[in-house]
Structure 1
Amino acid sequence: QLHGAYAIAVLHKDQPHTVVGARQGSPLVVGLGQGENFLASDALALAGSTEHFIFLEEGDMCELTLEHVRIADRDGNDVEREVRQVAAYGGAVELGPYRHFMQKEIFEQPRAIADTIPQAETFDASLFGEGAQKVFAGIDSLLILACGTSYYSGLTAKYWLESVAKIPTQVEIASEYRYRESVPNPKALVVVISQSGETADTLAALKHAQSLGHPHTLALCNVGTSAMVRQTEFSFLTHAGREIGVASTKAFTTQLVALFVLAV
């Protein structure tokens, strides 16, 4: 009966060994263990407890007991979701010798940038996924949708895309895009940018673009298991690592790397 965006876990005092979860608009992940199962908003929260996860789809509900996991879709039908193995290392959230996480993430930028630059002889469309070479050849413009810092990276990339690639580029704040009348262009590549891949406004803008008839979409994101990566045709991972600090540092610089690779 709930409307809006939520990720929820519910207990009943008469059934202490059962947890029921549901998600809509916010991430929820099931962790699979031996004689134990978990619910969390992020795989990293379960680092050290399990490496096997089910990333629930939009509208999914789940029932967890010590031994079993049952998942149903928004219509109440039992469904099977893919189990993924993800090594979620807890070391990423340790402060180490730094005074605070923002300082740590500033100093992590060189490593993050190096990890994001593709180790390839040449930069070509295949870096963005299978079939990208053919699709990119027919692209005549770009529409970049993002929020906050990711939006600023898109504004910077507009200069590169138009000067290097000679492709007209439009950059929009994702939260504004779906509230106005826009003219879809089937030959445009819609690029969504997000550190987490779960930014609600950007996901909603992506769905809106697809509903208007934009067939070609690309996610630039730091989380390979995120909703954004799963819902786009192509993707490119920024490999910034876990970002704890509120003020974006390495997320921004790695997004710039990804966008420069795209321009090239």
Structure 2
Amino acid sequence: MVTEIASALGRILVTRPAGDASDRLCAALKMDGYEVFSQPLLVLKRLPQLPVAQCQMLLHLDLYQHVIFISSNAVHFGMALIEDHWPQLPVGLNWYAIGAATAARLEHFGIEAVTPGSVMTSEGLLALSLLQNVRDQRVLIVKGQGGRETLAQELTRRGALVEELPCYCRSLPEMPAGELAANVTQWGIDVIMITSGEGLSNLQVLLSPAETTKLKRIGLIVPSQRVAHMAQIAGFDQIVTAENASDLAMLRALKEWRRGTGE
């Protein structure tokens, strides 16, 4: 009976990197009665060795006024590095998290972080009052390798002394050509949940143009207007834009998709 109900509600593909965040979203979807499949579109790995300059950033953490974590993964990998250098965290720093999940992860380290609320983006962080007048103040951005430079560029424009600490790398999962499209078809996926622009880019890499055309009618839930625009350019036309990449926002967007399909 549970399987029949789940099939009626829809089959959902979760594409978050493997780990706690993916497990929580999958569990929440199953609780709501969906049939859930997982295929990470990003593989995360700790960087094997930090350059000397970045080790110096960690050694002098107490000299920064602002420390920003741009994802819960940045907390996972970054705090491991910070604790190696600071068994007791320095005081007097302003800590920031891009969203509630990132802030919750920082709480495990005794850190109360400022968040931008529902706007879980670089733009949301840049709107925070504490980051408006930052001239000559030192800012450390803890992040993954690569990614958007909007936050660092704008804070630099405001006069801040910005440094970035990449603490993990993201890579494309190893899959034979055609495997992802075959799985999506075999599983009867109704909706693919995308939680980042890089995840969408990897989806495009793993699908051939012909496969993308074949699957473009599948529902696509994305975390922002920026990623929605990317999806439109890629050829998808059943796109629902969530308020952000959180579990709650993704679940709300899924309900919107169901209303749109008349289910």
* Structure 1 and Structure 2 fold alike (TM over 0.5): no
Of structures 1 and 2, the one with the larger relative CO (CA 8 A, separation 6+) is 2
Higher helix proportion (structure 1 or 2): 2
